């Protein structure tokens, strides 16, 4: 078990972030064998491309670490410095890691595995991550990003309503919460870390992955499974609600089980921007949804009447 000991100021430095490079590592972990049942079809369609990628000796040695040592080098998923960094910016951070930090992170029992004990290993790993991003994550990134954003919005809403502990209490089964302590991931080897003013980043993963990344003394990042990542697409089965408001509006209303912006609904449901806007206008005029502006976006949620209608058979 790993304990992160925190003070009040450390909690003030706790925030959520979305990390494209963490998604890329999650994709590699999934294709390497750490697979949730609901990802079987996704992984099966990409198994050949993954096998081709893993022929590289550096890639093979890196991907072997989670399987044989239950370990990920910290430098390959640097804690984000902003809410949603660009993949290229995160990749540049990996590529610029000092040789001393790389060797320290890659060492197992004081020795760097043979396949990783090569010059410019950080650059080789960055190249692997760039190719994995392009093959496995980027083509589907808008939808995955929407899943991650909605998870963060849901937890932010719970944080504002019920407090930090309630917002974090279901991040993952491998996490606990106790007064005076931060979330506690439970890997194989026990350790204690004092945050001492470091930032704690909470990063959702659409691949259902969990790990802790340490960049002491600056930041710690905890990757956790995003809620809704395994949700099946909406099923177009006519119901009373469909007959009352129309199938498209009923589908949109069901999708608002948590607040979402117009662009998120477009990505999630595959509707056009104009159609979503028109349907939202009708649902708002009839008192079934309401919108709240946050920054440049308007987030829609169901009203109590909308909840009642979606709960009906």
- Domain edges within the chain: 2-225, 240-311
Per residue in 58-111, pLDDT tens? 999 999 999 888 889 999 999 999 999 999 999 999 999 999 999 999 998 889
Secondary-structure class of domain 240-311 per CATH = mainly alpha
For residue 267, what are the contacts with CB-CB under 8 A and spacing of at least 6? 142, 143, 145, 146
Q: Where are the beta strands (DSSP E) in the chain?
A: 2-5, 14-16, 191-194, 199-205, 211-215, 219-225, 260-261, 289-294, 297-302
Q: What is the pTM of this model?
A: 0.75
- pLDDT band, very low/low/confident/very high, at 1 (cuts 50, 70, 90): low
Structure tokens at 69: 């040592």
In angstroms, rounded to a whole number, what is the distance separating the alpha carbons of residues 299 and 302? 10
Per residue in 181-220, pLDDT tens? 556 555 444 566 777 778 889 999 999 888 888 888 889 8
In angstroms, rounded to a whole number, what is the distance separating the alpha carbons of residues 302 and 221? 33
Which segment, 150-164, 184-198, 241-255, is predicted with the most confidence on average?
241-255
């Amino acid at each position: 078990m790993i304990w992160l000991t925190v003070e009040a100021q450390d909690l003030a430095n706790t925030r959520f972030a979305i990390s494209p490079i963490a998604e890329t590592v999650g994709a590699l972990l999934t294709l390497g064998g750490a697979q949730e049942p609901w990802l079987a079809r996704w992984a099966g369609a990409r198994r050949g491309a993954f096998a081709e990628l893993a022929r590289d000796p550096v890639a093979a040695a890196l991907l072997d670490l989670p399987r044989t040592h239950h370990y990920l080098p910290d430098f390959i998923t640097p804690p984000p410095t902003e809410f949603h960094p660009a993949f290229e910016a995160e990749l540049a951070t990996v590529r610029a890691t000092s040789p001393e930090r790389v060797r320290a992170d890659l060492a197992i029992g004081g020795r760097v595995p043979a396949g990783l004990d090569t010059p410019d290993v950080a650059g080789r790993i960055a190249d692997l991550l760039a190719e994995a991003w392009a093959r496995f994550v980027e083509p589907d990134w808008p939808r995955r990003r929407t899943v991650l954003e909605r998870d963060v919005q849901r937890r932010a809403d719970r944080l504002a309503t019920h407090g930090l502990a309630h917002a974090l209490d279901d991040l993952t089964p491998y996490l606990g919460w106790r007064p005076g302590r931060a979330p506690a991931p439970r890997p194989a080897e026990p350790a204690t870390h004092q945050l001492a003013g470091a930032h704690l980043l909470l990063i959702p993963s659409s691949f259902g992955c969990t790990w802790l990344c340490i960049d002491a003394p600056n930041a710690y990042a905890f990757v956790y499974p995003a809620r809704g990542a395994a949700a099946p697409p909406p099923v177009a089965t006519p119901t009373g609600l469909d007959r009352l408001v129309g199938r498209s509006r009923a589908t949109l209303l069901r999708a608002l089980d948590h607040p979402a912006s117009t662009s998120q609904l477009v990505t999630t449901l595959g509707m056009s921007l104009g159609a979503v806007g028109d349907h939202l206008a009708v649902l708002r005029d009839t008192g079934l949804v309401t919108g709240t502006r946050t920054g440049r976006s308007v987030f829609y949620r169901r009203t109590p009447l909308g909840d009642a209608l979606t709960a009906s058979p």
